[in-house]
Amino acid sequence: MSRQQEKRDQAARAAWMYYVGNNTQHEIADRLGISRQMAQRLVAYAVEQGLVRVRIEHPISDCLALADALKTRFGLAICSVVPTDGNNAEALRRMLSVAGAEVVEQFIHAEKPMVINVGSGRTLKAIIDELPEIDRPQHRIVSMVGAISSDGASNRYDVALRAAEKTGSKYFMLPAPLIADSAEDCRQWCSHRVYRVVSELAAHADLTLVGVGSVGPACPLLEDGFVSEEEVSQLVAAGAAGEMIGHIIDGTGRPLVSPLSSRVTSLQWPSSPTRPVIGFAGGAAKHKAIAAVLRGGWLSGLVTDEASARAVLAG
């Protein structure tokens, strides 16, 4: 057994004893014949590696009420609202991950083979990471965004690939960059045979998972270098309120036609979808984007936080 494996094993053991067995780290150390600090490190390592999964079972009535209100107002089938924790971004991300993973798990669990479209974004990535390993080789996972990044290497946002790894499902990548160099280039990418095959598969997906992004200073598209600051300013001036996998929408939820829109290669889906399309997003920066996406009727499910829910309902 590799050194790495051995460490994970021991960490898992320490985590069992600590979190489930209610031992102190000192007791664990004694039992495993290691130092107190080492026990502490093992437990910390287990948490860091995602070996420890925590769920809060009791729904908070305020959050439940907000979720119900959102369901009614925007015709959602699924809605989960997590408590807001000041503006601690780290905490928010973790909470959305836990709640999001719970929702996704319900679907993934099905034995019946499914096609699952997966978008991009940090929130979605965190959710996939939070998923337990469930073996579902019968499912097919489709990446809705181009897996080819302009600099070639980094595919760190290929959330779909991660999801496929987690579940052992088949993985279908979209052979394109997220944003093509020109409208012509975009048309080329999108007319490739493989693109069309994947796109066709995605059109019949049983489930679609997408992140919702803001458009503005420090927005994901800008941070990840897909658009320039100038382009962002132009988009905002043109009324951009948010985006999903690169598709920009305005405040009413309608697609925003712009120089950019003809260069985005990522997959599209109809408004008021008949199959579940679940969006994940939270945090003050995204209030406007979430509201816009909901107004546009792009989602049938949403996982968000308390403050965002309130803001959206108030708007």
Residue 1 engages a second copy in binding (rule: CB under 8 A): yes
Q: What is the dihedral of CA 296, 299, 300, 301, to 10 degrees?
A: -130
Which long-range contacts (C-beta less than 8 Å, at least 24 apart) are formed by 98-102? 98/54, 98/55, 98/56, 98/130, 99/303, 100/124, 100/126, 100/127, 100/130, 100/280, 100/303, 101/127, 101/128, 101/130, 101/131, 101/132, 102/55
Residue 3 engages a second copy in binding (rule: CB under 8 A): no
Kindly indicate which of the ranges 18-26, 111-119, 120-128, 198-206 contains the residues binding DNA, using the contact rule CB under 7 A: 18-26
Residue 237 engages a second copy in binding (rule: CB under 8 A): no
Residue 88 engages DNA in binding (rule: CB under 7 A): no
| Residue 10 Cβ vs DNA, minimum distance, rounded to whole Å | 9
253, 298 in Cβ contact below 8 A?
yes
What residue type is 178 in one-letter code? L
Per-residue x/- marks for DNA, 30-69, CB under 7 A? ----xxxxx-xx-xx-------------------------
Distance CA(70)–CA(81), nearest Å, equals 10
| Residue 310 Cβ vs a second copy, minimum distance, rounded to whole Å | 15
Binding partner selected for residue 43 from a second copy, DNA, none, CB under the kind-specific 5 to 8 Å limit: DNA
Identify residues 227-266 at the interface with DNA (CB under 7 A).
Answer: none
Q: How many Cα atoms within 13 Å fall on the side-chain side of residue 203?
A: 6
Look at residues 95, 138, 96 and name the one whose alpha carbon lies nearest to residue 116: 138
DSSP 227: S
Q: How many Cα atoms within 13 Å fall on the side-chain side of residue 214?
A: 14
Identify residues 102-161 at the interface with a second copy (CB under 8 A).
Answer: 109, 132-133
Nearer to a second copy, 95 or 205 (CB): 95
Considering only 9, 21, 24, 154, the residue that binds DNA (CB under 7 A) is 24
Binding partner selected for residue 270 from DNA, a second copy, none, CB under the kind-specific 5 to 8 Å limit: none
Binding partner selected for residue 85 from DNA, a second copy, none, CB under the kind-specific 5 to 8 Å limit: a second copy
Identify residues 128-187 at the interface with DNA (CB under 7 A).
Answer: none
Nearer to DNA, 25 or 265 (CB): 25
Per-residue x/- marks for a second copy, 53-92, CB under 8 A? xxxxxxxxxx-------------------xx-xx-x-xxx
Residue 7 engages DNA in binding (rule: CB under 7 A): yes
92, 285 in Cβ contact below 8 A?
no
Residue 15 engages DNA in binding (rule: CB under 7 A): no
Look at residues 147, 201, 209, 202 and name the one whose alpha carbon lies nearest to residue 174: 147
Nearer to DNA, 17 or 222 (CB): 17
**152, two tokens:** 């070639």
Identify residues 13-42 at the interface with a second copy (CB under 8 A).
Answer: 13, 15-17, 19-23, 31
What residue type is 275 in one-letter code? R
Distance CA(249)–CA(312), nearest Å, equals 16
Distance CA(203)–CA(284), nearest Å, equals 32
Distance CA(191)–CA(229), nearest Å, equals 30
Nearer to DNA, 25 or 208 (CB): 25
The residue ranges that bind DNA (CB under 7 A) are 3, 7, 18, 24-26, 34-38, 40-41, 43-44
Residues of this chain that bind a second copy (CB under 8 A): 1, 5, 8-9, 11-13, 15-17, 19-23, 31, 46, 49-62, 82-83, 85-86, 88, 90-92, 94-95, 98, 109, 132-133
